[in-house]
Amino acid sequence: MLGLLCRIYSVMLYAYPREFRLRYGVEMQQFFHDRCRELARAHAGRGAWLRFVLRNLSDWIVSIVRERRALKLVQEWAVTILLFLFVTTSMVQAYVVPTGSMENNILVGDHMLVDKVGFENGGSNWASYVLPHREVKRGDIIAFRYPEDVRQTYVKRVIGLPGDHIRLENKQVIRNGQKLDERYVRHSSPGIDDYRDNFPTAPDLYTLGGGREMFAGHVQDGEVIVPPDTLFVLGDNRDNSLDSRYWGFVPSNYVTGKPLVIYWSYDAPTSDYVEWNFRHVEDVALHFFSKTRWDRTLKTP
């Protein structure tokens, strides 16, 4: 979180006129970094961080306007606008969670920002080449394009990396022969469903295309073996999650990023987030304060 803020700020500095940035940019970055560190050390609450971010944003805008007042060239402004677009589209992305497959860690109606540059993701985003990033680890929560329909974004937890052997035994995940201690998992139904809880058995009615390929080519001795450049993901709401068990592996270049922060959480049913409808707008207008889950604001998933 802290690293990302500093990284975003260092890119935002490019909106200042060149001479100003060359002369003061390093100092300003240091200043910003010091301020972040001070807040972190003081164990600042979410409110304090939000105030900090908003204050810096307004400082950024106001001081850019002031420093650029002398420059009348349209081209100079174009750089600022392009940069703003770059930050909002390439580096972070807003996303609403429509289903409860990650409950209780991510709820239906959580509106979050996804960090699109934190992971190395197969070059689908050029910013990730330029800026520091790390590889996806086991246990990370990731946002990715749903392989069966790339227009949809899904959020799940990474269970298997390439080469990992995965199976489930009575709901217990066993990876490379070791039982995982998964405190984040919630079980919503007590019964055992063989396909779901003693995975992998054999494809059934609910197995989608990618899942059938997985059964056909990547199951050995009752274990799924994750092929190169893909990930095996499961939902935290384990008994009620359409995940790699049903539609197979996620190609690693489908990963769009890492959920960064929940900026607004609103209690409404799945249907309101799947399809736009006027009733939802009305509902938000009437119940904004009572149905917003304030305790989730600015939470990191």
Nearest distance in Å: CB 23, other proteins: 7
- Of 64 and 214, the one with the shorter C-beta distance to other proteins is 64
Per the CB < 8 A criterion, the answer to whether 140 and 159 are in contact is no
56 touches other proteins by CB under 8 A:
yes
Q: Which stretch binds other proteins (CB under 8 A): 52-60, 91-99, 133-141, 254-262?
A: 52-60
- Of 5 and 224, the one with the shorter C-beta distance to other proteins is 5
83 touches other proteins by CB under 8 A:
no
Query: Rounded to an integer, what distance in angstroms lies between the CA atom of residue 3 and that of residue 21?
Result: 20
Per the CB < 8 A criterion, the answer to whether 157 and 261 are in contact is no
139-174: string of b/e by CB count within 10 Å (b at 16+)? ebbbbbbbbeeeeebbbbbbbbbeebbbbbeebebe
The Cα-based distances of 61 to 3, 65, 68, 99 in angstroms read 22, 6, 11, 36
Binding mask 4-43 for other proteins (x = CB under 8 A): ------------x---x--xx-xxxxxxx-xx--------
Nearest distance in Å: CB 66, other proteins: 6
Nearest distance in Å: CB 238, other proteins: 45
76 touches other proteins by CB under 8 A:
no
Strands (E), the chain: 92-96, 110-115, 141-145, 153-160, 165-169, 172-175, 178-179, 219-220, 223-225, 230-234, 250-251, 255-265
48 touches other proteins by CB under 8 A:
no
Q: Which stretch binds other proteins (CB under 8 A): 39-47, 57-65, 245-253, 288-296?
A: 57-65
88 touches other proteins by CB under 8 A:
no
Residue with tokens 């006129």: 17
60 touches other proteins by CB under 8 A:
yes
Binding site for other proteins (CB under 8 A): 16, 20, 23-24, 26-32, 34-35, 55-56, 58-60, 62-64, 66-67
